[in-house]
Amino acid sequence: MLVSFRWLQELCPVDADVAEVARRISLAGLEVEAMEEKGRDLSGVVIAEVRTRSPHPKRDKLTLVTVFDGEDEHEVVCGATNVPEPGGRILFARSGAVLPNGIEIVPRTVGGVESNGMICSEDELEIGSDAEGIFVVDSNNGALPGTSVADALDLHDVILDIGLTPNRPDCLGHVGIAREVGVLFGVGYKPRKAAGPQRAFAAGGSFQPGEPTTRLTSLWDTESETVGTPELPAVSVEIADGDRCPRYGAALVSGVKVAPSPFWLRYRLHNLGLRALSNVVDATNLILLEWGHPIHGFDLDRLRGSKVVVRRATEGEKMPTLDGIERTFTSDDLLICDGEGPVAVAGVMGGLESEIRDETTDVLIECAYFDPRSIRRTSRRLGLHTDSSYRFERGVDPEAIPRVLASAASLIAELGGGAAATTAIDRVATAHESKSIRFRPMRAAQLLGMPVSTDESLRILESLGCRIAEQSDDAITAEAPSWRPDLSREVDLIEEVARVHGYEEIPTAVPRVHPSETGTPGLLKFIDALRDAAVASGLYEAVNYGFLSLDDLRKARVPADAVALANPLSEERSVMRTSLLPGLTAAATRAQRHGATEVRLFELARTFQPSDDKLPREDTVLAIALAGHRSDWIGGERPFDLYDGKGVVQAVVDRVFSQAPELVPGEMPSFLHPKRSAVVTLASRPIGFVGEIHPDVGDDLGLIGRVIYAELDVPVLYALAEELGPTQARGLPKFPAVARDIAMLVRDQYSAGEIAEALREASKGLAESVRLFDLYRGDQIPEGHRSLAFRVTYRDPEGTLTDKRVDKVHALLAEVASDRFEATIR
């Protein structure tokens, strides 16, 4: 959130510079992520007076302007159409000045006339968004030519970028931040009664400081059922759904004139990231930034039936919103309606038909409290995320409605030259109830690790706005302020006491560690070993959400009888996963779409199955996904297939058990290809499966190309590890090895794996390893055949091998290859 330090000082003056304020609020949990000083980089830009103006001799659309900058006269070529008459004042960038956008002003010739300097617009100086013409200084501004523009227009400010956590909606406005500053610096804070600036802004405009024409400080002393004036019809308010709208306020300002806002207001909005539109609309935005409470202005002439009704939409009801898009609503959406139909989406966006226009003269101001969950659902369903919905979703202060509405009506009356009605509506369907919380200093001391005095706790809680309902020697009962919906438990108050007292004041101590008698559980050690083995096998770990949608489960052909969440973040995260397949394959596809050509992922996580117990059954699973193309020096680039999955599974298991698993036929899950999948066994026991994702499932999930997927049951693997015992390491060989190569031409129907295994068995125990190191298809190789080359490593653990003995065994291997696999030895 962007915050004006100058505005904070107006609301709550403290004797500290911006750096100290930023430090203190950051330590208290409102992290200041960045600071930007305004008005500093405008050196060389001054107020200048127009002395003469005349048409350019050669360019019809240009004007020659002579300006006086307090020192000299300069002739400037200007392309704007709003150059004032002689005597008017403008913003002038002298030669040599560097504008905020990095452009250096230098003399240049335009149409044969030398132009010295530049007459600037708001946009060029980055003090506003108006780029249609040059900035003309208001006649009420008494700045003399030569005065720095930063001083003349009072541009000095520092903008703080504060990163707010979701539990602090009270700080989504300057009033909330100022309240925090007051608490931290021990300065009493009292909100102002009007939203205008505390002092004059030299840029002038229609606004003049001082007492406004109509103040609403006692507005609710004369509260009525309707709001109106002798000249205008009374408007009534009806709340048809008190659960969705517990409170609704309305005030009326008549006789306004819609016009551009004064510069001080445009400049403040620009610095805080909003674009100026008109005085009435800008006033509502300023109130939002000040109080953190959204309001909305309706054109009273466009409200049919002199009536406002807050109700749920009828199914299929439609209305165009301010962005020009016609929206279709469901019965779950809350609408603001007039006597005939909807005029706004409650808490989200106004309607196009009732918006403030240039011809608007009478404005009905809405200030309400809406149920956060209702606004969140409507905003997400419509895809409308606005400044208003952002605040209503997190919770605004329901008790601030009278003050906010009075401030808004007063400001609009001042800026628009109108008059506010002396009565207003404050309809309460469901009264706000303060939360009563018990605070025990002894409990606070236990949690914080330091003494907490009762007097200090009382001071902090009262400064935060809590009302002390009851006090005893060992406990305090406090009522949370209406602007702090995050305070509901004792630990919340303890955190507040620690935060205001200062986290940095809490003593640092090394906690005492009590070693476990049994140590780390064996299952956790085994899971860590599996994770290390997967990484060592060339896989990258993926961490996915444990929540997904029922549609994801159905598309993946995995069990859809899932545990539903009571309060899901969204429809896409509404149930707990019953399989790792949807999340892991989606991660692989996402990687491919970002340019990855070879994806090797694994996830070691839990799945959740419904059970008769209160809690779901949790199963730990190791899942592996291979997608894309494998780049290999044997055979070049090719898509991953079942044998790649087999190799990865064998590598992972072998690193943990020192023995490779086997693949056998068996019943496969429906999401795997029936002909390209197998059951994985170890010690003749099934431990999982591996295979290619079925093409139909791949299409439904949006997978790219062939995807190989494997799952290993971690509890079954752990039980096997317990049964087989720790792996015994082999001693280092005492005698040297002898390596021989054997190349052969074989039919494609024989796999390299089965040939290697046959060669190993035929070696009479002398072949320590048989490794494929070359595969060739191409010229001089018959169709349906390929050339394979194996490196056989021989070693006798009992003695040194002789060449004669190795030759004899190697010849036997060649004979086995010829007889069993019809191989032609090369």
DSSP character string of 109-164: EETTEEE-SEE--HHHHTS-S--SS--B--TT--PPTT-BHHHHTT--EEEEEEE-
Residue 243 in 3-state DSSP?
A: coil
Residue with tokens 């030569």: 146
What does the alpha-carbon distance between residue 754 and residue 41 come to, in Å, rounded to a whole number?
Answer: 76
- Determine the Cα angle at 771 with ends 769 and 775, to 5°: 165
CA dist list (Å): 292 to 163, 173, 176, 396, 712: 15, 4, 8, 7, 52
Residue with tokens 């070879």: 598
pLDDT exceeding 90 applies to what percent of the chain? 77
Asked if 575 and 548 count as a contact pair (C-beta separation under 8 A), the reply is yes
Res. 453: pLDDT tops 80: yes
Per-residue pLDDT at 326: 95
Residue with tokens 């010829």: 818
φ/ψ bin of 104: left (φ > 0), alpha (ψ from -120 to 50), beta (otherwise): beta
Q: Is 800 exposed, middle or buried (0-12, 13-18, 19+ CB in 10 A)?
A: exposed
The conformation of residue 104, written as its DSSP 8-state character, comes to B
What the block records as the tokens of 548 is: 């997904």
Per-residue pLDDT at 766: 92
The conformation of residue 200, written as its DSSP 8-state character, comes to -
pLDDT bucket at 226, cuts 50 / 70 / 90: low
DSSP, residue by residue, 734-778: SS--EEEEEEEEEETTS-HHHHHHHHHHHTTT-EEEEEEEEEE-S
What does the alpha-carbon distance between residue 625 and residue 693 come to, in Å, rounded to a whole number?
Answer: 10
What does the alpha-carbon distance between residue 92 and residue 82 come to, in Å, rounded to a whole number?
Answer: 15
pLDDT 10s digits, 626-684: 999 887 655 567 899 998 999 999 999 999 998 889 888 889 999 999 999 999 999 88
Instruction: Name the packing angle between helices 401-416 and 279-291 (round to 10°).
Output: 150
Residue 733 in 3-state DSSP?
A: coil
Asked if 259 and 278 count as a contact pair (C-beta separation under 8 A), the reply is yes
pLDDT 10s digits, 71-81: 999 999 999 99
Res. 290: pLDDT tops 90: yes
Per-residue pLDDT at 634: 56
Choose the weakest-confidence range: 314-328, 509-523, 569-583, 788-802: 509-523
Give the distance from CA 309 to its chain's centroid. Answer: 34
How would you list the strands of the sheet with 785-794, edge to edge? 767-776, 785-794, 738-747, 824-825
Asked if 382 and 327 count as a contact pair (C-beta separation under 8 A), the reply is yes
Instruction: List the beta bridge partners of residue 383.
Output: none
What the block records as the tokens of 737 is: 């090895």
Bridging pattern class, strands 73-78 and 63-68: antiparallel
pLDDT bucket at 227, cuts 50 / 70 / 90: low
8-14: long-range contacts at Cβ-Cβ below 8 A with a sequence spacing of 24 or more?
Answer: 8/174, 8/177, 8/178, 8/181, 10/197, 10/198, 10/199, 11/174, 11/175, 11/178, 11/189, 11/191, 11/192, 12/178, 12/179, 12/181, 12/182, 12/187, 12/189, 13/187, 14/181, 14/182, 14/185, 14/187
Helix (H) or strand (E) holding 786: strand 785-794
Choose the weakest-confidence range: 134-148, 266-280, 624-638, 644-658: 624-638
What does the alpha-carbon distance between residue 668 and residue 558 come to, in Å, rounded to a whole number?
Answer: 12
Question: What stretches of 576-625 show up as alpha helix (H) in DSSP?
Answer: 581-593
pLDDT 10s digits, 500-525: 999 998 888 887 777 777 778 889 99
Res. 312: pLDDT tops 90: yes
Average pLDDT over residues 21-50: 94
The conformation of residue 36, written as its DSSP 8-state character, comes to E
pTM of the model: 0.68
CA dist list (Å): 241 to 391, 402, 435: 20, 21, 23
What the block records as the tokens of 63 is: 């004007």
The conformation of residue 196, written as its DSSP 8-state character, comes to S
Of 711 and 637, which is predicted with more confidence?
711
Buried b or exposed e, range 153-179, using 16+ CB within 10 angstroms: bbbebbbbebebeeebbbbbbbbbbbb
pLDDT bucket at 579, cuts 50 / 70 / 90: very high
Per-residue pLDDT at 612: 85
Residue with tokens 């108050």: 493
Domains in the chain with CATH codes:
2-39+158-184 (3.30.56.10), 45-155 (2.40.50.140), 199-428 (3.50.40.10), 436-505 (3.30.56.10), 522-724 (3.30.930.10), 738-825 (3.30.70.380)
Choose the weakest-confidence range: 92-106, 161-175, 768-782, 810-824: 768-782
Per-residue pLDDT at 725: 82
Asked if 272 and 2 count as a contact pair (C-beta separation under 8 A), the reply is yes
CA dist list (Å): 362 to 195, 699, 734: 20, 58, 101
- Nearest Cα neighbor of 180 from 294, 395, 31 is 31
Asked if 227 and 214 count as a contact pair (C-beta separation under 8 A), the reply is no
Strands (E), 610-671: 617-632, 636-639, 662-664
Which residues, in sequence order, are CB contacts of 612 under 8 Å at separation 6+?
Answer: none
Average pLDDT over residues 757-768: 90
Give the distance from CA 250 to its chain's centroid. Answer: 34
Average pLDDT over residues 163-168: 94
What does the alpha-carbon distance between residue 616 and residue 403 come to, in Å, rounded to a whole number?
Answer: 49
**Length of the chain in terms of residues written:** 826
Strands (E), 156-267: 157-163, 226-229, 232-239, 247-254
Instruction: List the beta bridge partners of residue 92.
Output: 46, 119
The conformation of residue 564, written as its DSSP 8-state character, comes to B
pLDDT bucket at 216, cuts 50 / 70 / 90: very low
Per-residue pLDDT at 225: 57
What's the mean pLDDT when you consider all of the chain? Answer: 90
pLDDT 10s digits, 596-626: 999 999 999 999 999 888 889 999 999 999 9
What does the alpha-carbon distance between residue 720 and residue 708 come to, in Å, rounded to a whole number?
Answer: 25
Instruction: List the beta bridge partners of residue 344.
Output: 336, 350
Phi, psi of 286 (to 5 degrees): -65, -40
Buried b or exposed e, range 269-304, using 16+ CB within 10 angstroms: bbbbebebbbbbbbbbbbbbbbbbbbbbbbbbebbe
Bridging pattern class, strands 467-471 and 476-479: antiparallel
Give the distance from CA 449 to its chain's centroid. Answer: 34
- Determine the Cα angle at 625 with ends 624 and 629, to 5°: 140
What does the alpha-carbon distance between residue 480 and residue 357 come to, in Å, rounded to a whole number?
Answer: 41
